[in-house]
Amino acid sequence: MVEILQRTPCSATRISPTAGTTSRNCPLVRADAARQRLVTRRNDLDSVVNLSLTRRELLGASMPLLALIGGAAPVGLVAGTPPARAASGLVTPSSAAQAAMNKALSRAIPKAKTAVALRLVFHDAGTYSALLGDGGLNASIQYELDRPENFGLKRGWRLVEQVRSDLRGTAAEGLVTDADLVALAGAFAVRLCGGPDIPLRIGRPVATSPDPPGRMPGENFSAEQLKANFSEKGFSVQEMVALSGAHTLGSKGFGDPTRFDNEYYLALLRRPWNNPNDSMASMIGLRSDHVLPDDPECLPYIQRYAEDQNAFFADFSSAYIKMTTLGVPGWAA
């Protein structure tokens, strides 16, 4: 029988399966027991998600232990399942879990719902403030659906609820959080409509309250206002222009509403809203789209993506991955 000698301020206490109540009540002994449970939990998770933990991950994974011995988790967040963790590479679920997620996403998101699934991602992540370090993609959108800028997104959140329900009893149950499902639904929508296949990490924490209001870009923003807003989230002009290409999906008038391609940028260069002979042309896009080709910083990227769809796909994928890590502790964008 293995015995562990635990020296504590209470005394040098010998812990064994038959140890008495007094030794187990020592605070540091309780902490050690909690630490051992945490290690066991982390090892169990690593058998499902194959990755190595960094120092930052270990610090993040210690949150449950801090709570047990009197510490506190960040306000407004609860640890996801598994806890939010950084990784040097992409976190990949088991093949059985991945198959279950693909099946659930396929069932919940037909092509007709891809635009709202993709829009939900930006409206969840877009509350991020790089300066304050709060907000981001954390499923707080569920508490923000009555905000004017989120009109119509209740349909999007119902997709997340359906996928979550369909994952019960599968190998993916408990592996992905609601915040993960928001990100995964958007990536699935892009892929379903012919866009790039975007690999994503899993393990995002989930908010327990809404993120601060007033951080989303407005539909009537000027180019300067848009660039300032995206910069506050940590995005470059190039990343802003690449993410704007998501408007190719949906009813904004940029080609086939269920095809993810570079038609958005071709339309921006044509500027159809300036055609005085077409009364419907003004309905194509938003004012915040119309201002982009007239901005000297944005125009070169628009031209590049109009000429090279593969370049758009590559840059959109990178920007999307970054967007879906906003606000996730330890996940460097």
Q: Write down the residue that tokens 């499923």 correspond to.
A: 139
Specify the pLDDT at position 332: 55
- Tell me what the mean pLDDT of segment 295-299 comes to: 98
Contacts of 223 (CB under 8 A, 6+ apart): 291, 292, 294, 295, 297, 298
Beta bridge partners of 134: 129
User: Using CA atoms, how far apart are residues 227 and 233, in angstroms rounded to an integer?
Assistant: 10
- The whole-angstrom distance between residue 151's C-alpha and the CA centroid of its chain comes to 20
Concerning whether 123 is annotated as a catalytic residue, the answer is: yes
Confidence of residue 329 (pLDDT cuts 50, 70, 90): confident
Specify the pLDDT at position 92: 65
Is pLDDT of 164 > 70? yes
Is pLDDT of 148 > 80? yes
User: Using CA atoms, how far apart are residues 272 and 260, in angstroms rounded to an integer?
Assistant: 20
Is pLDDT of 254 > 90? yes
- The whole-angstrom distance between residue 59's C-alpha and the CA centroid of its chain comes to 21
Query: Which conformational region is residue 253 in: left (phi greater than 0), alpha (psi within -120 to 50 degrees), or beta?
Result: left
Report the predicted TM-score, pTM, of the whole model to 2 decimal places: 0.74
Q: Under DSSP, is residue 222 helix (H, G, I), strand (E, B) or coil?
A: coil
Is pLDDT of 13 > 70? no
Specify the pLDDT at position 205: 93
- The whole-angstrom distance between residue 85's C-alpha and the CA centroid of its chain comes to 13
**Which of these is catalytic: 42, 85, 123, 252?**
123
Mean pLDDT, all residues of the chain: 80
Backbone angles phi, psi at 281, to 5 degrees: -65, -30
